[in-house]
Structure formats: C-alpha cells, structure tokens
Structure 1
Amino acid sequence: MQLRVFQNPKFKDKVTVLKEAHETNNQYLLLEVELAPEGGNSLHYHTSFSEEFIPVEGVLGVGIDDKEYKLLPGETSTVPVNKLHRFFNPTSNDIKFHVKISPASQGFLQSLQISYGLAEDGLTNKSGIPKKLDHLALLLDLSDTRLPGFLKLITPLLLHRAKKARRKGVYDELVRKYCRN
C-alpha cells in the first residue's frame, strides 16, 4: 500500500489512492486526502472529468464558482466538467475526505505523483508551483487543469509548451522518476 500513498510538504496534505483506473474499469479514480489546517488549492476547472468531494472526518470546505460550502461526513458535492472549484480546510484540525474523479484519469494521478515528487525534491516554490516552466506546463496538461483570470489567457501557450516538453523527453523523465505504477 505504501506505493499508493504520497505527501506534498508544500500543500500540507497526504493522498492515498483507494481505487485506480484499472480497478474500476476506467469508471473512476478514488483518492483519500488528509488535509492540514489552512491546506487546500486555488480555483481551477477540468475539461474532461467531474470531481465528487466526500468528507470522511471533519469539515471540508468546497468552493464552486463564487460560493463556498462546508460539508460534513455524509454530505457530498459533485463538481461537473468546466466548473470553477477548489477545496480547503476551514478548521484548525486535520481533515480527511475522498475525491472521486469520473471518468478515471491516469494523467491526473501522474500529475499528483509528479507534483508531490517535485515538491519533496525542492523543485517547486513555497506555493508548490514548479520552478521549471516545462514541469508546470506538463502538470497542467496531465491533470487537465485550467485556471481562471489572466492565467486563462496564457493556458494555450502552456499547453503548447507541454507538447514541446513531451517531444524533448521531459515527460518520460518525470514519469520514470516520480510515478509509481
């Protein structure tokens, strides 16, 4: 089970893979996230999969567009494709929740493994953003993550950069180093 658990020292979280794509006939990917106080991510969206947030222990904050929700165990929130969202820990205690990604996305799992590995190796800034532009571009592409505002304007350039990074072998290097299959 250890190969299915990884931590990000920048985001203050730990992810455990409960179900991989091959275990669900590519229907979904199921992750368990342990999130420290003040942990979370910023607004973003995905163009190819939905995310269902399922609190297990504690109160889970979920932002969807300009609204914020505080979910308790037994409640869920599903974020459809192309909807701005984020998750966060609004409490002073560690929380635990599940994220169900439908359909399953192997790229999303690879992006988590790579981004957490880069953070552990000191190759990200204090916000967890990769220091190398090729790495950032590949992570956005792999995770199918799109950003709002000004960053939305440069996303096509970053996705183009990701294609070039793949051709240069950067993707293969990152997968060899950080992805545990």
Structure 2
Amino acid sequence: MAHHDAGGAGAIHSIGNDARSLAQFIRSGWFKPVHVQSTVSQEMRTLLMSREFFVNKLHDHENEIRGLLRPFGLKADRIAAGDFEARVRELVEGRPNLELCMSALLRRCTEMQTQLAELHRALLRLTANDELCRGFMIIPGVGPVTALARSRHWPSRRRSTTRGASGARVMSELTLARHRDNTSLERPA
C-alpha cells in the first residue's frame, strides 16, 4: 500500500481543477444553496443586540448597587427608572465612603442610560421609516423592538415564499412571544 506524503502529493491545485471540483459537488448534491443576510439586515441585528446589551448591563448594574447597599441595611427596592439615582443618594447621605462609591457607580449608570437612549432613538428612526415595521406595530402588543426583530426574518419579496408563514400564524407569534414570559426589552425612558 502506497503512502502519500503530506508535502503535496495528490491533486494539483489550479483554478481549472478547483472549478471542476466545485461543479462535481453541485452535480453530486453535496451542495445546498443558502440565503446570506443583507448588510442592512446585519446592521439591524447589530443595533438590536447592542441595545439589548445595554438594557441587560444597566439592569445588572442597578442590581449590583442594590447588592452593595444591602449589607448596610439599605434597601433600594423596585423604583421607577428615573427615581433610582435619587433614592440611592438619599440612602447613602451622611456616609462619605458609601457616597464616594455609589457616586462613581451612579455616574456609570447615567452614561449607560445615555447610550441606551441614543440606540433606542436610532431604533425608533429605523422603524418609523420602514413600511413593514409600521405594519407590524399596528398589531396590539407589538412595539418597535419586536417589529424590527421580526422584520429581519420576514421573507424578502424577491425570494420564494413557499416556506413563509401565514399571516395569522405570524400575528400569533408576534403577540404571544412578547407575553410568553411576561418580560420585555422595552425600558421606560
């Protein structure tokens, strides 16, 4: 039995040989066409993921502040988003070390809220200018975030829609997905 050395014994690589190999793959059925998302769709996904990142990190940051205050018997229970900073400053008033630490953490929260608001405004501009998103937002319980997330996956009018969902099924998915776990990425400004 002959052994091939790894130094290049075997097929000679050239453009012609590569083309023949690709043609053989297609003829043999080892090839499956796939849809590549457009740049616009990838940009929408990046916007949604960036916004979700800030929503989650802001929530984590506020919970960390609550956890740091708890050993001192200070509780910043569920408070409206705009009142959180005032409540924390009220709790640590008169405690210089806690004031210093909480002030630094609250500044970071404010920065994250500013960035989140900027991303949310961009999302609102995008959905306001998109006919499909505006159509989705007519459905009760579907806001701009859900509309943009679903419109990314909506079959293009140029592509075949044989695998597309019926309108009734899509409407039920949109409304049920939002209320399934009673949580939302929507955050009051």
TM-score, structure 1 as length reference: 0.25
Structure with a larger share of its residues in strand: 1
Structure with a larger share of its residues in helix: 2
Max Rg structure: 2
